[in-house]
Chain A
């Protein structure tokens, strides 16, 4: 995956909002986390303390999302059903709305929620995600792998009736 190194904050903003939306599953909370992140960036920039680092705003946005969601109902750590990825999964996913995906990711426990949000932004390399989440490679891979299988199981239940038989 060839990605240009993103150093300019403005280029990251749409993705930053999408990340907040995936993390919170709610447009209002996503906007609040997004704005808090940019206010913090502005405050640091005014003191010339804002790091020249493309990952900083996502790191901060994750922190803001976690802070906003701290008082919400937390996801259970109970084992969720899993299914191997089916070849027709892409067809089933096409029937979903973005908000449904965001709600599902936002309901996942940490740090799986953050790992899936970063991964499906399709912007970061695995090393950048490890850096952002402070996870080892095996841990990151496990979170994404389990997330896929769990999402597939959920996908099977919500899209069964929609598929042509």
Chain B
């Protein structure tokens, strides 16, 4: 008889309110309205409600014994504790949710801070610090020139444009150099310096190649650390320049600041 109604509505109608008052529940109201549009379902619902009303009337006639009524007076003293915000906050579900939000916020902040320290070419810079640590002097072509001449050297020998050393480091003495390709096939210039243990690296900032259109200069030094080495990176004209040395940021930063003066 009620086969025209959905399974959900049929289930709701089985639990239809006994009284004729409209229910507060929206789904129940909808089920009742649907049933009343179908004559067979409406008749069935009416029969059901009369049956239920008769039983509910019988239940309402159940007399409460005097022994139970005695409780009616005293029970006013029994009051449920109102849930205050402290109690609510200590609820396991709230605690779990708060913990999850904190963890997510922590992870987000961690990644945000990581991203703040990243810059175009920072991944390559970290890899090159490993190269710096493992390179032997014999792997480099011998050189004996001031760093200011390296730009011309790389352009003349390898046709690499903008592979210039910043002016603040131009007076350092280069003792060896080589050009190799990184994992992505982009050219990387490596320079050994007479100054103990220091090296220069020059490479395209974002894989665009040294011949990419010059970008706006970014003179700020950015630092990367890896395997006991530290690099100070400056991006200029689409080329990253990195000065690398053994140590950490605290060693390199004052050195560069001193050179800047």
Contacts and interface: CB of A to CB of B under 8 A. Distances in A.
B62 A102 contact: yes
Interface in A35-51: 35, 38, 41-42, 45, 48-51
A159 to B, nearest CB: 12
Main secondary structure of the interface of B (DSSP, over half): helix
Interface stretch (A63-71, A73-81, A92-100): A92-100
Interface residues of B, number: 47
Interface in A129-165: 129, 137-138, 140-142, 144-145, 148, 151-152
Interface in B20-34: 21-25, 28
Nearest to A14: B64
Given A51-B80, A127-B25, A141-B14, A122 B72 contact: no
Question: In which size bucket is the chain A interface?
Answer: 35 or more
Interface string B1-26: 00000011011111101110111110
A33 B207 CA distance: 79
Given A38-B75, A141-B11, A141-B15, A122 B68 contact: no
Interface of B: 7-8, 10-15, 17-19, 21-25, 28, 47-48, 50-56, 58-65, 67-68, 71-72, 75-83
Given A31-B67, A86-B47, 10 more contacts: A2-B24, A9-B80, A13-B71, A17-B68, A42-B77, A52-B80, A56-B80, A89-B51, A120-B52, A129-B15
